[in-house]
């Protein structure tokens, strides 16, 4: 059975500190590492042919720690595309190639389109202090509304404008080719993806919560993804 596994990254250091994170690139906390190990054991026997993750280290750490628990002997290997990239990306594309006949590899694809919603001027601020300054209602609007972004940040609508095309143009063709895919991303990027996969309305997605470190599994049935 072809399947798609979605997972929000495990607890980060700024989740633990109750700070708005967005695109600030912070790692997992020690609790997050433990969560990732537990999550990895949970899906350790599920087939995984491709891994897709964001550019942010908390999602990448989650993916790699999860895969370290996997029953497969295959090695996750990051793929680099130098097209339109800088000199460093070109060098990685040219030099990070295997020379031996290595078959047991799971490709890892990284895309900014899977990144968390950018929280703009809220990034790095304490959530409790921000509520005290701006009020619960305003913070709720910035965090949970569909089309109202925080100052200088992204709304969920803007996030969906990059995540959904990635699902349509990259993930779905690979699933249709028979590949089982594991995606590690973020609360809001995954909310927008689940909105698309589950055909949720703009109103329904507002109450959607995506817990950290818990696999959400879809199976391909008659050409369509259905949540397991």
Sheet architecture: strand order including 216-221? 75-78, 105-110, 50-53, 181-185, 3-8, 216-221, 224-227
In order of 11, 16, 17, the CA distances from 143 in angstroms are 18, 18, 17
The residues with which 182 forms a beta bridge, in sequence order, are: 5, 51
Which whole-number Å values give the CA distances from 181 to 50, 57, 145, in the listed order?
5, 19, 30
Coil, helix or strand at residue 210: coil
- What DSSP state is assigned to residue 174? H
Q: Is 209 a catalytic residue?
A: no
**Cα–Cα distance for residue pair 166/194, rounded to 1 Å:** 13
Task: Name the active-site residue from 9, 52, 70, 186.
Answer: 9
Residue that has been written with the tokens 């959607």 in this structure: 208
Alpha helices in 69-126 (DSSP H): 87-95
Residue 204: active-site member? no
- Confirm if 215 and 227 have CB atoms less than 8 A apart: no
Catalytic center residues: 9, 116
């Amino acid at each position: 059975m072809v399947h798609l596994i979605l997972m929000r990254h495990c607890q980060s250091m700024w989740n633990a500190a109750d700070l708005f994170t967005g695109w600030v690139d912070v790692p997992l906390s020690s609790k997050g590492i433990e969560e990732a190990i537990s999550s990895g054991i949970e899906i350790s026997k599920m087939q995984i042919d491709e891994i897709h993750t964001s550019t942010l280290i908390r999602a990448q750490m989650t993916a790699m720690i999860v895969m370290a628990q996997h029953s497969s002997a295959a090695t996750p290997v990051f793929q680099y595309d130098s097209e339109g990239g800088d000199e460093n990306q070109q060098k990685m594309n040219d030099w990070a190639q295997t020379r031996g006949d290595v078959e047991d590899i799971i490709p890892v694809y990284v895309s900014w389109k899977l990144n968390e919603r950018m929280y703009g001027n809220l990034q790095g601020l304490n959530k409790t202090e921000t509520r005290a300054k701006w009020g619960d209602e305003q913070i709720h609007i910035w965090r949970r509304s569909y089309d109202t972004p925080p100052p200088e940040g992204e709304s969920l609508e803007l996030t969906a404008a990059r995540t959904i095309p990635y699902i349509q143009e990259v993930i779905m063709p690979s699933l249709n080719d028979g590949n089982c895919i594991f995606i590690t991303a973020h609360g809001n990027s995954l909310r927008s993806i689940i909105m698309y996969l589950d055909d949720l309305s703009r109103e329904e997605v507002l109450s959607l919560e995506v817990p950290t470190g818990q696999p959400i599994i879809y199976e391909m049935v008659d050409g369509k993804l259905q949540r397991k």
